[in-house]
Chain A
Amino acid sequence: MKLNAWAVVLTICWIGALPVWAAAPMEELKGPIDQVVRILQDPKYQDKSQSEAQRTELMAVINGIFDFQEISKRTIGRRWKSFDQKQQREFQETFADFLGYTYYQKVRDAYQGEKVVFLSQEVLENGNAVVKTNIPRKQGQIPLDYRMINKKEGWRIYDVIIEGVSLVKNYRTQFNTILGKETPDQLISRLKQKIQEQKQGSSS
């Protein structure tokens, strides 16, 4: 009995202390963001003909810190179970590609050497974390929050919140409207078509 009580106390202490032991999410985020900034400012990529090489290098960093499986699952929501394994895998790859092409172009065109300001980090009750950052722009700053999940490999991003708008939730609303009328394969081919459009847009 006494032993049991001690076991309970120890377990509580151990669980309570866990977030402290794990590497801080903000620390894990800082490295990749610095790398992204460095690649964006790299003089060898200032010529637009190098954009494909720049995108590839950026995507390597992005793939390291974003958890696209988690992102895909959360973007589709409850319908994720109705995707078969092949569709899940294909969606995950295509959606990651889509996000990469779409936001690479936007960030490249909009980035003007701003320095990301790290504000705070908070580990939530469910074990996930929120890291709050700011990007200073001419007309005020843009709040950018990263939601992170603690995986075996470390803290990984599963959602980005710009001025209070969750990207995962925003895409979920859109995809659910589409999936109400179309099949998973049709959604995937829509994404692929959009990637083609982005590719043509970036080369022109």
Chain B
Amino acid sequence: MKKALLTSLVFFAVIICVTGVSPAQTDHPFKAAGDSAHELAGSVDDPAVSGQAGENTGYDEEYDDEDYLSEEGETGVAVSDPLRHWNILMYHFNDRLYFWFLKPISQGYKDVVPEKIRKGIWNFFTNLESPVLFVNCLLQGKGTDAEATFARFLVNTTIGVAGFGDPAGDIPKLKKTDEDLGQTFGYWGIGDGWYLILPVFGPSTIRDAAGMAGDMFLKPTYYIQSVEVPMALGFLETINSTSFRIGDYETIKDAALDPYEALRDGYLQYRKNKVSH
């Protein structure tokens, strides 16, 4: 199993390289992105603009909100979108999937199943994610988080009865981390790659999609010798988690003038923030 995992990791790393996503030169992907933005800004004749960008170099990238005058601001987020035609198609596909199927089914489920049970199912699936979190904490050298994840898993699987309860949630030291292979790749300096909307799963990037495929091998459900059972579990997980989030997608869409761009930029910003934590 270890060998299979390693092989798949290498496999996805190769895919990423082949698809034209070059690993960033520096330790941190967004440092690299920021530097190139400054270079761009520096090439602009307007002294006010280059001056503005020049002041940025000193402080934390996280707060680097002064790029609004740089070239990047002109063209949107620095992640390219050559798959735009496919993405727009998938955007509409997922949009209909949500409004025609996912939303009504989740709403019906929410009306029938009490919140306590839905919460229990949520906890159960969250607990099953532990191997993914644990391995990715290790891959990013976050030893303390890995320990906390492991302890959390033990507590919730035993005292929490197979993960349906979340007693570890009451212990501040065992706070839930949120890591995945896509973030690990980002931590290693691999850039986003192209923006990619996946059918059913939604917004992603080449890097994050590869990460998602790699993480699959760390999910216990992957090792169930059947086709129907993992699919049914995946369906339940989706419906259950959506029942807590009905209205979120509508909010984003409703607040946007260009929902496709809003979702794209929102996803990329959200992931960029996750990678940096």
Contact = CB atoms under 8 A, between A and B. Distances in A.
Interface stretch (B141-149, B198-206, B261-269): B261-269
B273 interface: yes
Given A174-B258, A177-B258, A165 B266 contact: yes
A35 interface: no
A124 interface: yes
Interface stretch (B70-78, B96-104, B128-136): B70-78
Contacts of B262: 170, 173-174
A74 interface: yes
Given A139-B122, A191-B257, A173 B265 contact: yes
A30 interface: no
Interface residues of B, number: 38
Contacts of A74: 65, 68
A88 to B, nearest CB: 15
19 contacts: A78-B73, A79-B74, A102-B254, A159-B65, A163-B273, A164-B272, A164-B273, A164-B274, A166-B65, A169-B68, A170-B262, A174-B262, A174-B265, A176-B74, A176-B75, A177-B261, A178-B257, A190-B257, A201-B254
Interface of B: 49, 55, 58-60, 63, 65-66, 68-70, 73-77, 119, 122, 176, 244-245, 247, 251, 254-258, 261-262, 264-266, 269-270, 272-274
Interface of A: 73-74, 77-79, 102-103, 106, 109-110, 124-126, 128, 130, 138-140, 147, 159, 163-166, 168-178, 190-191, 194, 198, 201
